[in-house]
Amino acid sequence: MGDENYKIVDLFCGAGGFSFGFDHPEQLNGLGKLGYEELGWETEGFKTIYALDDYEAATETIEKNFDCAVENSKIQDIDTFSTWDDADVVLGGPPCQGFSQLNSTKTEDLDDERNHLWKEYFRAVEDINPEVFVVENVPRFLDSPAGKGLVELAEEHDYTTVVGKLDAADYGVPQHRKRAFVIGSKQGTPFLPTPTREPTKTVRQAIGDLPMYATDENLHNSRNFSELTKERMKKVPRGGNRHDIPRYLLPNCWKDYEDGGTDLFGRLRWNEPSVTIRTSFHKPMKGRHLHPEAGLERTITLREGARLQTFPDDFEFGTPYQVHTARLIGNAVPPKLAYHIAKAVKSHLQGEEGKLVKSQDFDHGEFLEAERQPVLE
């Protein structure tokens, strides 16, 4: 390989957080007060050559941040992906809403049409025939028929697969975000990254240097809230939630509903990682998204959400609309987590092997994890 970069195809690319961690990790250095430094590749990094998504705001975002071919289309409408058969790695996060924990349907009964797009993803893998593929999804994916089907199909095509559930907070991301990953390799036994030894990153480190009040500059902007909503937010103390709001300010549907939803109208905590940043993080009724400072009458801004996802401040989102930008941010793989996956993939491509062990998390014979074998001197 020499000093050439490994080539990437990114399917269901979204804002490109997955690719960004592979392609541009050096741009994360100096983000907020997170202490990121010396991230990047001295030799043999990665280069995204093609990205696909059917969401126009996503492909416009890719065009602003990557030098690669971009296609705004449904994956099932692409006849063949063999044009990109020089790619070494295929990344992808098939839409996960059907597997989301917010979907109350039993895992084995899921029949959302989006749950079948993994088959289109693997059709692309077949066409491209990369050395390695990586799939990201919500944890429930691995408990579903789709997760099992993907692993079995990959094994039939001579890929050695390993699976795991990672929390982004274990990899220097200032956010608890648990996601499932499947890595397949034709070069041997791949492995997922081990948690880093860096101290846990906090909300304060991520956004504490930003102005306390929204400035409407560089996405540091918040929604316009009603006076009633602002009164409710004002009553929530540090670390509090909807249960701290006086009864006379509560909507009727909450007044006699004590169970569930303890994160609703919740404040983030300064000295902890944030909760998972979702696509509706700019709405207080959707989770623990209030700014951590008591009395502040707003949710976190788009910029603060992007910081908690580890997007650098000069990353450009391809839409002027809050709802679309929030969707792009909330759906993304945090680039800092993606970087550590990239490091594991690179080490494997350069000859490092994993050691297969039976996964203890899944009652499925095909689901294996890999312990990273020590490198012999």
Length of the chain: 377
Neighbours of 350 (CB within 10 A): 11
How many Å apart are CA 307 and CA 26, to the nearest integer?
15
Q: Give the 3-state secondary structure of residue 343.
A: helix
How many Å apart are CA 163 and CA 329, to the nearest integer?
25
Pick the closest to residue 305 from 234, 134, 287 (CA basis). 287
Distance of CA 255 to the CA centre of its chain: 35
Amino acid at 65: N
Residue 96 known to be catalytic: yes
Q: Which residues of 135-160 are buried (b: 16+ CB within 10 A; e: fewer)?
A: bbbbbbbbbbebbbbbbebbeeeebb
Conformational region of residue 314, where left means phi above 0, alpha means psi within -120 to 50, and beta covers everything else: alpha
Q: Which residues of 319-342 are buried (b: 16+ CB within 10 A; e: fewer)?
A: beeeebbbbbbbbbbbbbbbbbbb
Catalytic residue among 13, 68, 96, 253: 96
Say if residues 134 and 183 touch (Cβ distance below 8 Å). Answer: yes
Distance of CA 293 to the CA centre of its chain: 26
What residues pair up with 132 in beta bridges, in sequence order?
89, 185
137's CB contacts (< 8 A; 6+ apart) are 93, 94, 96, 99, 147, 179, 180, 181
How many Å apart are CA 35 and CA 172, to the nearest integer?
9
What tokens were used for 351?
């000859």
The catalytic residues are 96
